[in-house]
Structure 1
Amino acid sequence: MTHSVKSNRQVLVVHKRIKQLIAVTFITVSGFAQQKQSEGSAATGGGGNAGAQPSPAVKAAPKAYKDIITAKAVSCTGLFIVHKVEDKIYFELPDSILNHDMLIISRLAKAGADMRSGSSMSGYAGDVLNESVVRFEKGPNNKLFIRDISYSERVKDTASDMYKAVMNSNIQPISLAFDIRATRKDSISGVQHTVIELTDIINGDNDLFFWGGSKGKFSVAGYQPDKSYLQYVKSFPINTEIRTVKTYMKVANNTANLFNGVLSTNTPAPKLVTVELNTSIVMLPEKPMQARYADDRVGYFSTSYTDFDANPQGVKRVSFAERWRLEPKKEDMQKYNRGELVEPVKPIVIYIDPETPAKWVPYLIQGINDWQVAFEKAGFKNAIIGKMAPTAAEDSTWSLEDARHSAIVYKPSAVPNASGPHIVDPRSGEVIETHINWYHNVMKLVHDWYFVQAAAVDTAARTMHFSDALMGQLIRFVSSHEVGHTLGLLHNFGSSSTTPVEKLRDKKWVEANGHTPSIMDYARFNYVAQPEDSISEKGLFPRIGEYDKWAIEWGYRLIPDVKTATEETPTLNKWIIARSADKRYWFGYERSEDDPRSQNEDLGDNAMKAGEYGIKNLKRIMTHLVEWTKEDNEGYDNLQNMHVQLFQQFNRYVGHVLKNIGGRYETFKSVEQPGPVYEAVPEAVQSEAMRFIHQNVFITPTWLLDKKILSYTGNYPMEIINALQDGAISKLLSSQTLSRLMNNESVNSKTYTALQFFNDLYKGVWSELETKAPIDVYRRNLQKLYIDRLSFYVKPPAGTTPLKSSEISAVGRAQLVMLRSKMRGALPVVQDTMTKYHLQDLIEKIDNTLSTK
């Protein structure tokens, strides 16, 4: 759900040397698996203390290996050979992994009880705290360094002068330095090994290995070493995992009240917070995956950098689409190129957290496996697999913290949401690992959505507790959506706009095709369907659609005989152009401010028609709201909540319509595609939108004000209507809307003009000035909002920034002058006392605004 969506992006990958590594064993504080080391030559001499601070003095030579890794050592082999010698921890690094890119990823393994607020989406087990690309390298004076690597600026040609210039301005910082404690030459492979001590790093509070910059988010500081300890280190073939328990002080307000662990004056008493942290050190692939350039016409998360090669007369910002590495087996490559489905060398496997309630596990797995049909379009079968995490009896080595494993992580949280982050190799955009966040209270979110959007047509939705079967299907849909994010897909907020509204009521068509071509849209359920349409859940629920299959094909299908991302680009462009004639393959960016086709929570190709159908269903639900929210021995909290949810749904329909006014369509194209990229929303559509607002917002929607419901909930009717109308007027008379109307008119005089807009607005807001009818309390409030907004543009309050556009001020002044004249003309014939008082008050407000004093 979370639009987000993209958080915590990095990577881990297979290194070719892992075939030489032995089976994984475990290291814990209480006991290490014993493993005898092969003997080899070792240098002799004194050694220094391990630590993070380099010494300027020349250190003595490392000690003999047997003097550091003594007979008391308990050791295991993986990415590093890790030794525990009494209370000391040593890493033994073969030279073969020096100067190779690695990731350090730190996560909350167990969160502190009081480290987050109740509404926070962060601070839960599994959350990523810090991500860094690093390299281990040898330095002078018997030192081994860790460099913090950035790929924000790149030059491909390492022999060019430009490469040297860029490198001279981008030296990578040395973040940590260690004394080399011993060396060893492996008697079998002949590879030289270097031993460093990490005791102080692991037992300390180092940002690179643990929090990074995340402490401030949770207001923790004042590390408590006496209340912190190492739990274990586990080493796997391509990664090493460190689990620590750490305790800090937490200040109620913010960490600004703590400086070097000392409390400032008047600071609230701190609390202690203890967390378990998991740190993964992961080898990135020696050869990065072949990248694929991102394209605005297909929605993928992207990894970006500045390329000094791409433009010989400047620089270019280059973005790689974020994708998992899927490759056919060598023996299947010819089949794949012929168009036959083949299994990938390494499928995408996503496990279900063992702590997940068992009854929801099958639905989460199905949500993952639903994507298999999309990968078949890219030439792969069984490319993505959801499965339950193995039990300890089935696999004692499996761990949720093992960075090789992807999972949906269950979080016992009141947060009504879910999110699909993933970890990415910044060199290529390759995704290999994800921890999808599954917050427990997402079930309330989907319940409330389905109730207000589908209860009019689905009897199963007319209750506060859905059946497990219905809730399971809702969970499945959310699972599919979040998995789509981990596969690299952005939200496609434009997808639902490609479906004609009337097709949403066509039972045969909508059940066959779905109400939106993309599950990555925020088009939850088919709220357009009417009871008489008899549409089943198949036509109400979202599903993997045509766009999703196309996007996976574009991102994952391999192109034969190409070796670089640049060589792929012409073919990929042709694919997009070939699909562009069919609107159902269109991608609408979620952050498009102007395009009314790209909105969340909307349906259909006409927001006004869809909204009218949606309102009909809301009115049906309103008449049964008391009955459908009732629970024995309970109060009216359910009724209160669902009345608010119903109002918010209505407000969404209004918002969908409002975006058409002053809007413009944004259709990304390459130069090979004809037609404009930007077009103003047609005049007829904007006029239709204004009529909708007049009929459903400016004419008071009294159907929202059911007296029986208000008597149970205590909600005030004027507050409900005022919130609705204030939102509409604020949007219509925003400087953004007015500026866009004027800008569109400057490009095309036949578009919907600012004067047409104000004429239509006058008819909707001020009709009583023409009919001389009494103005009720709701309309009086609406008209006050109108005057206040225009007055703001004509005479901004002291301390506010004046508008850059004098046109808006001029139009606002003209409207106020006209309205004052109309009000003065109406006053002599108005009979209603409150209407008279209201008009007199508004005239005085306008006089004050137009006054030069």
Structure 2
Amino acid sequence: MPTNNYKPRYDDTRVGYFTTQTNDMTTIDRVNYRDFINRWNLVKKDLSKDLSEPEEPIVWWIENTTPYELRDIIKDGVEAWNIAFEKAGFRNAIQVKIQSDTANWGAGDIRYNVLRWTSSPSPPWGGYGPSFVNPRTGQILGADIMLEWSYITRRIFEDNLFNNSEDNLEHHYCTAAEHQQIETSFGIDYIKIFDLGSEMEKELIKQSLYRLVLHEVGHTLGLNHNFKGSTLLTTDELNNKEIVDKKGVCNSVMEYPAINITRRSEDQGLFFDVKPGLYDIWAIEFGYSQYASKEVEKESLDKILSRSTEKELAFANDALDMRYPGKGTDPNAMIYDLSSNPIDHSLQRIEMIIKILGQLKEKYTKNNDTYQELYNSYRTLVYSYFNALEIVSRQIGGVHIDLSHTDQNTEVKPFESVDLEKQLKAMQVISEYGFSNKVVLQEDIFPFLQSQRRGFSVSKDPTIHQRILTYQNRLLSHLLNPKVLLRITNSELYGNEYKLTNYMIDLRNAIFKDDMNSNISTVRQNLQVTYIKKLISMINEKSPFHNIAQSSAYYNIKWLENNINMNTGDLSSRQHKQYIIYLLDSIDD
């Protein structure tokens, strides 16, 4: 371990750094946490100057295997962090060099911080930024960033879209590259479908790689994720090129945001951020500013942290996000989202996806030998469609979390429920776009969703029903999650006006009301059976659901049992209803 005059800095809950956790075992205080943030040992050459060169900058080396045409983008992305370090008092804190072809050291040499370039047939990531620290102080001693060629190629693996691969990931794990790759694919489809030109496509790829580098470098500087970064602008502001180009898309490059695509192509500004956001600059100022004395340090850091209540500095890391069903509570701490009004933005995104799907077959069958590109684009767009609905679903039973400290005297409470109007709108959107027959997106494409035969691989049936049900089931897994239903009940005691009893009836109506006495499509039949089975499981003796949720589930089961008419609809619908009644009757067996 190094012997130097490095001075640890204590962690603060309002700003997101990776930490070296320590406890003070000599105090009788109930809270004895003394966690250090992880950061580099940056020291000013001249402490008397507001802006000084560091004694030793953070030096990154671009591996000599990196394609020449990408080196400048990567270099600029890394050095863009100097914008943030200037706020902390450092000029040229980060420098980038290129490993020579005759270098006598390898990329695995821990004496060098290397931006490594790989090209793998089945890569586990598209970008990743690990670092290692002194466990006694939190000083970062070295780091690497892995960049993968597959990120540029838009190769997206089926399992990543079809399975819940992110559920219960460890909080240090970063999937930014995977998320951004899907978003970039969406953007390229948008550009191709509306014939916006190859230059715009090149610019999108450039911004995408630029932002990935910014994100991974941020991790190596000590920053963890900020999943409230996407709430910087309203949906209308995101559709304003001047505002976006001036303020950026998000308050932090440590987000997993949706790509910024405007309603009208002529209003298109940035797709992704290309420099650190307002939160990032503030976080670096907190973590890296240097002071002449402990007294000045405390006073200055308190002043910096007092700004945490500003909207532009909103923060929530992986501990708070709602990325998978039942996780988290605050709908502003979500992935793949964008805008401070996520319901409106999700609707804009859904409408754009529907427009793109309407022209997808014509565009991707005109000059292609096989249907593989059509197949790839269709499945990523459908994934994005349902992901927009997942973002909407988090409003229901959502509770906003504020991390400000008591001495900041903010009027915002630590826990505040999402207002009733937003929750009702969320339910309406899910009912219309997630549970109705609108989910059968662009039927004319179905016969053409053929993956390319390669060797002895078989071109499979596109399994439309299974795909739709998988995504609908994921929605239901959140909407009927025991943690969500318990939170709805508990939050009624501190402001939630969407009563559990009313919510459960609204959910039942969204799934059954429109076709109670008419023909029921096979897609809706799938959904209704899945919903019924979930309700039945809720009232099981070993159910994890609380009493009030079980009572509500039983009420809706009995309502359906008493109101389903097995004599209406076509033969398929009547058979389906008979099966529903069979399932409901089996409860009494």
TM-score if structure 2 supplies the norm length? 0.86
Give me the whole-angstrom Cα distance separating, in 1, the residues matched to 2:200 and 2:241.
24
Q: Please tell me the root mean square deviation across aligned C-alpha atoms, in Å.
A: 2.6
Whether 2:260 is the aligned partner of 1:526: answer yes
Q: SS where residue 434 of structure 2 aligns?
A: helix
Q: Among 41, 48, 54, which residue is 1:334 paired with?
A: 48
Q: Report if the CA contact (8 A) 1:769-1:822 is conserved.
A: no
CA 1:804/1:763 → structure 2, altered by over 3 Å: closer, same or farther? closer
Q: Among 291, 301, 317, which residue is 1:572 paired with?
A: 301
**1:209-248 correspondence runs (5 A):** none
Whether 2:65 is the aligned partner of 1:355: answer yes
**1:625-640 correspondence runs (5 A):** 625-629=360-364, 634-640=369-375
Moved more, 400-409 or 583-592: 400-409
Q: Report if the CA contact (8 A) 2:42-2:288 is conserved.
A: yes
Q: Report if the CA contact (8 A) 1:497-1:605 is conserved.
A: yes
Whether 2:423 is the aligned partner of 1:683: answer no
Whether 2:572 is the aligned partner of 1:834: answer yes
CA 1:586/1:461 → structure 2, altered by over 3 Å: closer, same or farther? farther
Q: What is residue 287 of structure 1 aligned with on the other side?
A: 4
1:601 is displaced (CA, Å) by 1.1
> Which residue identity does 1:400 align to in structure 2?
A
CA 1:533/1:751 → structure 2, altered by over 3 Å: closer, same or farther? farther
Q: What is residue 490 of structure 2 aligned with on the other side?
A: 743
Q: Report if the CA contact (8 A) 2:24-2:32 is conserved.
A: yes
Q: Report if the CA contact (8 A) 2:397-2:484 is conserved.
A: yes
Instruction: Summarize deviations over 1:353-408 as a string: whole Å, max 9, x none.
Output: 1122222111111111111111111111111111211343xxx5554344321111
Q: SS where residue 698 of structure 1 aligns?
A: coil
> Which residue identity does 2:583 align to in structure 1?
K
CA 1:631/1:541 → structure 2, altered by over 3 Å: closer, same or farther? farther
Whether 2:291 is the aligned partner of 1:559: answer yes
Whether 2:185 is the aligned partner of 1:439: answer no
Q: What is residue 380 of structure 1 aligned with on the other side?
A: 90
Which structure is richer in relative contact order (CA contacts within 8 A, separation 6 or more)? Answer: 2
Give me the whole-angstrom Cα distance separating, in 2, the residues matched to 1:760 and 1:663.
17
Instruction: Summarize deviations over 1:24-53 as a string: whole Å, max 9, x none.
Output: xxxxxxxxxxxxxxxxxxxxxxxxxxxxxx
CA 1:662/1:768 → structure 2, altered by over 3 Å: closer, same or farther? same
CA 1:315/1:384 → structure 2, altered by over 3 Å: closer, same or farther? same
Give me the whole-angstrom Cα distance separating, in 1, the residues matched to 2:330 and 2:290.
33
Q: Report if the CA contact (8 A) 1:419-1:438 is conserved.
A: yes
Q: Among 309, 312, 315, which residue is 1:587 paired with?
A: 315
Whether 2:128 is the aligned partner of 1:419: answer yes
Q: Among 409, 412, 415, which residue is 2:116 paired with?
A: 409
CA 1:839/1:712 → structure 2, altered by over 3 Å: closer, same or farther? closer
Q: Report if the CA contact (8 A) 2:520-2:569 is conserved.
A: no
Q: Among 229, 232, 237, which residue is 1:498 paired with?
A: 232
> Which residue identity does 1:812 align to in structure 2?
A
Q: SS where residue 385 of structure 2 aligns?
A: helix
1:426 is displaced (CA, Å) by 1.3
Give me the whole-angstrom Cα distance separating, in 2, the residues matched to 1:452 and 1:467.
11
Instruction: Summarize deviations over 1:512-571 as a string: whole Å, max 9, x none.
Output: 1122111111114203x11255314x35545321111111111111133118xxx84554
1:702 is displaced (CA, Å) by 4.7
Higher helix fraction: Structure 1 or Structure 2? Answer: 2
CA 1:550/1:454 → structure 2, altered by over 3 Å: closer, same or farther? farther
Whether 2:401 is the aligned partner of 1:669: answer no
CA 1:513/1:710 → structure 2, altered by over 3 Å: closer, same or farther? farther
Which of structure 1's runs of 4+ aligned residues deviate more than 4 A? Answer: 396-399, 445-448, 457-470, 539-542, 567-570, 630-633
Q: SS where residue 327 of structure 1 aligns?
A: coil
Q: Report if the CA contact (8 A) 1:494-1:590 is conserved.
A: no
Q: Among 527, 533, 548, which residue is 1:782 paired with?
A: 527
Q: Which runs of 5+ in 2 are unaligned?
A: 155-179, 321-327, 451-460
Give me the whole-angstrom Cα distance separating, in 1, the residues matched to 2:274 and 2:192.
15
Instruction: Summarize deviations over 1:620-663 as a string: whole Å, max 9, x none.
Output: 22123234445856322222111111111112101111111112
Give me the whole-angstrom Cα distance separating, in 1, the residues matched to 2:422 and 2:275.
29
Q: SS where residue 294 of structure 2 aligns?
A: coil
Give me the whole-angstrom Cα distance separating, in 2, the residues matched to 1:358 and 1:725.
44
Instruction: Summarize deviations over 1:775-822 as a string: whole Å, max 9, x none.
Output: 2222222111111100001235xxxx4326222222211111111111
Q: What is residue 149 of structure 1 aligned with on the other side?
A: none
Q: What is residue 296 of structure 1 aligned with on the other side?
A: 13
Give me the whole-angstrom Cα distance separating, in 1, the residues matched to 2:548 and 2:104.
70
Q: Report if the CA contact (8 A) 1:288-1:428 is conserved.
A: no
Q: What is residue 168 of structure 2 aligned with on the other side?
A: none
Q: What is residue 725 of structure 1 aligned with on the other side?
A: 472
Q: What is residue 644 of structure 1 aligned with on the other side?
A: 379
Q: What is residue 716 of structure 1 aligned with on the other side?
A: 463
1:603 is displaced (CA, Å) by 0.3
Q: Which runs of 5+ in 1 are unaligned?
A: 1-283
**Which of 1 and 2 has greater Rg?**
1
CA 1:484/1:460 → structure 2, altered by over 3 Å: closer, same or farther? farther
> Which residue identity does 1:794 align to in structure 2?
I
CA 1:466/1:352 → structure 2, altered by over 3 Å: closer, same or farther? farther
**1:28-427 correspondence runs (5 A):** 284-309=1-26, 311-313=27-29, 316-329=32-45, 332-335=46-49, 339=50, 341-392=51-102, 398-413=105-120, 414-415=122-123, 416-427=125-136
Give me the whole-angstrom Cα distance separating, in 1, the residues matched to 2:403 and 2:298.
16
Give me the whole-angstrom Cα distance separating, in 2, the residues matched to 1:589 and 1:633.
43
> Which residue identity does 2:570 align to in structure 1?
D
Higher strand fraction: Structure 1 or Structure 2? Answer: 1
Q: Report if the CA contact (8 A) 1:596-1:660 is conserved.
A: yes
Q: What is residue 498 of structure 2 aligned with on the other side?
A: 752
1:291 is displaced (CA, Å) by 0.7
Whether 2:443 is the aligned partner of 1:706: answer yes
Q: Report if the CA contact (8 A) 1:504-1:515 is conserved.
A: yes
Q: What is residue 598 of structure 1 aligned with on the other side?
A: 333
Q: What is residue 816 of structure 1 aligned with on the other side?
A: 557
In the alignment of these two chains, the number of paired residues is: 543
> Which residue identity does 2:152 align to in structure 1?
M
Q: Report if the CA contact (8 A) 2:225-2:255 is conserved.
A: yes
1:307 is displaced (CA, Å) by 1.9
> Which residue identity does 2:508 align to in structure 1?
Y
Moved more, 713-722 or 513-522: 713-722
1:292 is displaced (CA, Å) by 0.8
Whether 2:512 is the aligned partner of 1:766: answer yes
Q: SS where residue 33 of structure 2 aligns?
A: strand
Give me the whole-angstrom Cα distance separating, in 2, the residues matched to 1:821 and 1:464.
59
Q: Report if the CA contact (8 A) 1:452-1:621 is conserved.
A: no
1:464 is displaced (CA, Å) by 11
Give me the whole-angstrom Cα distance separating, in 1, the residues matched to 2:283 and 2:128.
20
Q: What is residue 64 of structure 1 aligned with on the other side?
A: none
Give me the whole-angstrom Cα distance separating, in 1, the residues matched to 2:60 and 2:216.
12
Give me the whole-angstrom Cα distance separating, in 2, the residues matched to 1:518 and 1:684.
29
